[in-house]
Structure 1
Amino acid sequence: MLNIVLHEPEIPANTGNIGRTCVASNTRLHLIEPLGFKLNEKALKRAGMDYWSDLDVRTYIDYNDFMEQNPGAKIYMATTKASKVYTEVQYEPDCFIMFGKESAGIPEEILVEHKDTCIRIPMVGDIRSLNLGNSVAIILYEALRQNQFAGMNLEGHLHHLSW
Structure 2
Amino acid sequence: MSLAIALYQPDIAGNTGTILRLGACLGLDVHVIEPAGFDISDRALKRAGMDYLETARLVRHVSWTAFLAWREAETRRLVLFTTQATTGYTAFAYRDDDVLLFGRESAGVPEHVHATADARVRIGMIEGARSLNLAVSAGMAAGEANRQVNGHSATSR
Q: In structure 2, what residue type is equivalent to 1:94?
A: D
Stretch of structure 1 that moved more, 82-91 or 129-138:
82-91
Q: 2:80 aligns with which of 63, 77, 82?
A: 77
Q: Give the percent of matched residue pairs that are identical in Structure 1 and Structure 2.
A: 37
Look up the SS of the partner of 1:88 in the other structure: coil
Alpha-carbon deviations, 1:56-114, whole Å to 9, x = none?
11111111110101213101000000011111211111210000000011212211233
CA RMSD of aligned residues (A): 1.4
- C-alpha separation between the residues in 1 aligned to 2:94 and 2:83? 19
Structure 1 residue aligned with 2:125:
123
Structure 2 counterparts to residues 134-145 of structure 1, below 5 A: 134-145=136-147
Q: 1:92 aligns with which of 95, 104, 107?
A: 95
Structure 1 residue aligned with 2:27:
26
- C-alpha separation between the residues in 2 aligned to 1:109 and 1:126? 27
Is contact 2:146–2:155 with CA below 8 Å preserved after alignment? no
Could you list the structure 1 runs, at least 4 aligned residues long, displaced by more than 6 angstroms after superposition: none
Q: Does 1:152 align with 2:120?
A: no
CA apart distance, 1:152: 3.4
Is contact 2:10–2:16 with CA below 8 Å preserved after alignment? yes
TM-score (norm 2): 0.92
Alpha-carbon deviations, 1:26-69, whole Å to 9, x = none?
00000000001111111000000001011111111111110101
Look up the SS of the partner of 2:45 in the other structure: helix
The structure that has the greater radius of gyration is 1
Structure 2 residue aligned with 1:57:
58
Unmatched 5+ stretches in structure 2:
none
- C-alpha separation between the residues in 2 aligned to 1:25 and 1:94? 15
Report the number of matched residues. Answer: 152
- C-alpha separation between the residues in 1 aligned to 2:10 and 2:35? 8
- C-alpha separation between the residues in 2 aligned to 1:90 and 1:51? 29
Structure 2 residue aligned with 1:161:
none
Unmatched 5+ stretches in structure 1:
154-163
